Structure 1
Amino acid sequence: MTRKLDAHDLARAVTAGVLQPGQDQALLAFLRQQPDSRASFQLAHIAYYFGALLIMGALGWLLTEAWMRIGDVALLTIALIYMSLFTACAISLWNRGQPIPGGLLGAVAVSLTPLAVFAFERLTGLWPLDDGQGDYHNYYLYVQGGWLAMEAATVIVGLLMLRLLPFPFIVMPMAVALWFMSMDLTELAFGSAFDWEQRRWVSLWFGLALILTSLWVDGRTQQDFAFWGYLAGLAAFWGGLSLMDSHSELGKALYCAINLGLMGLAVLLRRPLFMVFGALGVAGYLGYLAYEVFEDSLLFPIILTLIGLGVIGLGQAYQKRRDVLTARLRAQLPESLLAFLPALGR
């Protein structure tokens, strides 16, 4: 984990003999004169990721019906040309020392795999769904066993792309494809259509499995491949959990306890993602309690304000005492579990 150098650090370097007396002040003055590139750096990153997501959306879940009418040969040709161009540009940028835009274009190429497989299956007569059920747009909306070839191909292409470009965001389209596959395989195994309750449970268990897989990967690779796995896993797990119907107070309290557990994992793993999802869940539960206890009361907005301030306070406390909290929490765990947890190099 990197941090800014200050005058105290440079003074220590003088004491240790790394710098000569007087060099610390000269170096400090030089550093203070340099422009702060962090804002533009972050803005560039936002632009990169936003642009990649726009392309994925335009050629994925936002693809219009007009594209379906150009014919399967044209659709397959266009998909393969786009995949080839994005891959070639990605490799070129990567080799020129620009891994972020290069890796993002590689992820875009992977995200086009379902479209290419869709067109290929329709062209060769292998498409298992009739036209009423098998529009490409429905791939992102409905659970159906006929999408399995598209999902499996996306995972395979993603793995190949990771060999070429070991960029963490490429994990995201693979994780989405695996999430869809978990739904479709379960429906295929049971042989009947899924209702929303069953989909929520599948989403929850898949999310949990993806979180555990990301935990195993975390800290064991040079780049942070676990981040996107955690994000996709938390979205699936927390989303399925939060959308479940619970008509009992015990069930709602259990929901709060699980979210508190996510906040504890944020401290243990030093992953703010868990804190964000956990805090949202706890805030939702406290909001429910406040609404039930103080419904139609002047105290209701005051209680919600206090809840919000409390969440902000927790975030500040975590940020300031992250290392201490993590060390104390890990000191309570057995060695066998500590060996499984990621190293804290961030």
Structure 2
Amino acid sequence: MSVKLTAADLDRATAAGILQPGQARALLSFLEQSAPPRASFQLAHVSYYGGALLIIGALGWLLTEAWMQVGDIALLVLALGYMATFTACGLGLWRHDQHIPGGLLGALAVSLTPLAVFAVQRLTGLWPLEDEQLDYQNYYRYVQGGWLAMEAATLLVGLLMLRLLPFPFIVMPIAVALWFMSMDLTELAYGNEFDWDQRRWVSLWFGLALLVASLWLDGRTRQDYAFWGYLAGLAAFWGGLSLMDSDSELGKALYCLINLVLIGLAVLLRRVPFLVFGALGVAGYLGHLAYEVFADSLLFPIVLSLIGLAVIGLGLLYQRHRQRLSSGLRARLPKTLLAYLPALRR
């Protein structure tokens, strides 16, 4: 069980004779310096992340055709101007201990890298795609081998930005670029034969590889970079898995089993994203069963509502007992397997 200590707690321990005078403050200083940063969920953080996502959307997949008509030089100047402004402001905020908004601005700069490379390729005549796929917003919609330069540049800029601003969210645009790159490289290898079924499998395997890499990274850094790796990996893995067509009930039951494994990993690793994706998958399977059993029945919305309440209850149960559940599950695993699990953080 984790316990939060304050200066007042240590002062009381000194007054009770448990600690010697002077040890309390030294211990508190040591704990503050050695403990990894703890995430806190505040309304201001919702505002920071919400604003960052709005900007990423506005300058990414929601970019309109009007932007494509301003000219390649203007597009490049705007992209580089945004990147320079976001980076400078992010560094300024970071130096004033405003790490969350500063780091998010750094992530915004990374997310604009594909737009800058897009403009450079069009200016230099190196743009490889056909006329019907000249629009930048198609980068976020279609698999195409011609996007590789944009993805490689995003990866490079992201790694450089992590050196300037070691903020975990910057891992997200890097992971997305790697996800796109895995698709585009496969499309380049397969050519026109790369169909939607193969794309789903590529997404699934890439997501699984990213989850394994995040598991290796988890607990090895002071900042929690693994969280965003888990989130991106789950999105790729679970998305590819959920979009696969299965006409057999056995396949659908296997899908439910995999999602139950994700819920078990949430307990084992103490990571909420596994619980969210796993619960969504199980709820989807239960919804399928409810539809088969209660099709065209007045009970159908009632059953789905009960499933939704069960999912909420599962989240509450996990939140209330996650320490005991995780410790109990870990106690049942062999020591050789425990050695590969990340250290307990909370």
TM-score between both structures, scaled by the size of structure 2: 0.88
C-alpha distance in 1 between matches for 2:3 and 2:128: 52
8 Å CA contact retained: 1:104, 1:169: yes
Instruction: Say whether the 8 Å CA contact 1:143–1:194 is kept in structure 2.
Output: no
Specify the SS of the correspondent of 1:279: helix
SS in 1 for 2:126: coil
**1:203 Cα offset (Å):** 1.1
| SS of equivalent residue, structure 1 residue 241 | helix
In structure 2, the residue matched to 1:343 is 343
Q: Give 1:315's aligned amino acid.
A: G
Q: Match for 1:313: what amino acid?
A: G
CA distance in 1 between partners of 2:336 and 2:275 (Å): 25
* Aligned ranges 1:278-317 → 2 under 5 Å: 278-317=278-317
Distance 1:243 1:4, change over 3 A: farther
Residue 268 in structure 1 maps to residue 247 in structure 2: no
Q: Match for residue 45 of structure 1?
A: 45
- Give the whole-Å Cα distance in 2 for the aligned partners of 1:293 and 1:253: 15
Letter matched to residue 95 of structure 1: R
Cross-structure match for 1:252: 252
1:18-57 pair list within 5 angstroms: 42-57=42-57
Q: CA deviation at 1:18?
A: 5.4
SS at match of 1:321: helix
Who is 2:173 aligned against? 173
**Structure 1's 305 and 11: CA in aligned 2 closer, same or farther, altered over 3 A?**
farther
Q: Matched residues in 1 for 2:96 and 2:306: separation? A: 51
Structure 1 residue ranges without an equivalent (≥5): 21-37
**Percentage of identical aligned residues:** 74
Aligned-residue offset at 1:13: 7.3
The 3 A distance-change label for structure 1 pair 19 and 302 is farther
Q: Which residue of 1 aligns with 2:217?
A: 217
CA 1:166/1:8 → structure 2, altered by over 3 Å: closer, same or farther? Answer: closer
Partner of 1:190: 190
Q: Secondary structure at the match of 1:340?
A: coil
- Corresponding position of 2:227: 227
Q: 2:96 is matched with which residue? A: 96
> Which residue number in structure 2 is paired with residue 63 of structure 1?
63
What is the CA–CA distance in structure 1 between the aligned matches of 2:305 and 2:85, rounded to whole Å?
Answer: 51
The 8 Å contact of residues 219 and 343 in structure 1, kept in 2 or not, is answered as yes
CA–CA separation in structure 2 for the residues paired with 1:66 and 1:296: 47
Which amino acid is 2:190 matched to? F
What is the identity, as a one-letter code, of the residue corresponding to 2:108?
A: V
Which AA in structure 2 matches 1:145? G
CA distance 1:244–1:339, shift in 2 (3 Å): same
**Residue number in structure 1 paired with 2:334:** 334
SS of residue in 2 equivalent to 1:341:
coil
- Matched to 1:229, the amino acid is G
2:207 — aligned with what? Answer: 207
Find the aligned partners of 1:74 and 1:235 in 2 and give their Cα distance: 35
Q: How does 1:120-199 map to 2 (within 5 A)?
A: 120-199=120-199
Letter aligned with residue 159 of structure 1: L
* Change beyond 3 A, Cα 1:326–1:284: same
Q: Tell me, in whole angstroms, the C-alpha distance in 2 between the residues paired with 1:9 and 1:100.
A: 30
Question: Once the 2 structures are TM-superposed, how far is the Cα of residue 93 of structure 1 from its aligned partner?
Answer: 0.7
Q: List gaps (5 residues or longer) in structure 2.
A: 22-38
CA distance in 1, matches of 2:63, 2:327: 49
Worse overlay, 7-16 or 320-329: 7-16
